[in-house]
Amino acid sequence: MPVDHRTKQPFGLLHGGASVVLAESIGSVAGYLCTQGEQKVVGLEVNANHVRSARQGRVRGVCKALHTGARHQVWQIEIFDEQGRLCCSSRLTTAIV
């Protein structure tokens, strides 16, 4: 995701909300890819710990399944800056409906 005027807060840093949107989007797509047939994935809970700021460039998210059950999924999403430094650690819990 680009770190630019669309994703920065007034102090010139990547907005925490943009990081959470990226994390939830990545986790939701991963969840959908693990479903079958007409199942839908909906978010139940998302949290994020912002441990480093990004001022420019791009950030990338990496998603890991912690639990992929029949009714719920739990995903760990980590967001890194261009130097590979952790910026945000997030966890997403989804329901399969």
**What's the pLDDT tens digit per position in 16-32?**
999 999 999 999 999 99
Determine the straight-line distance between the first and last CA of the chain, rounded to whole angstroms: 29
Task: Give me 72's structure tokens.
Answer: 């719920």
Residue type, 56: Q
In a domain, 6, yes or no: no
d(CA 55, CA 32): 31
Work out how many domains the chain is built from and give that number: 1
**Residue 63's pLDDT is what?**
98
In a domain, 82, yes or no: yes
Task: Give me 63's structure tokens.
Answer: 């998603």
Residue 37 has pLDDT above 90, yes or no: no
**pTM for this structure?**
0.93
**What's the pLDDT tens digit per position in 51-91?**
999 999 999 999 999 999 999 999 999 999 999 999 999 99
In a domain, 38, yes or no: yes
24 backbone dihedrals φ, ψ, rounded to 5°? -65, -35
Q: Domain of 62?
A: 16-96
What is the CATH number for 75?
Answer: 3.10.129.10
In the residue annotation, 24 being an active-site residue is answered as yes
In a domain, 10, yes or no: no
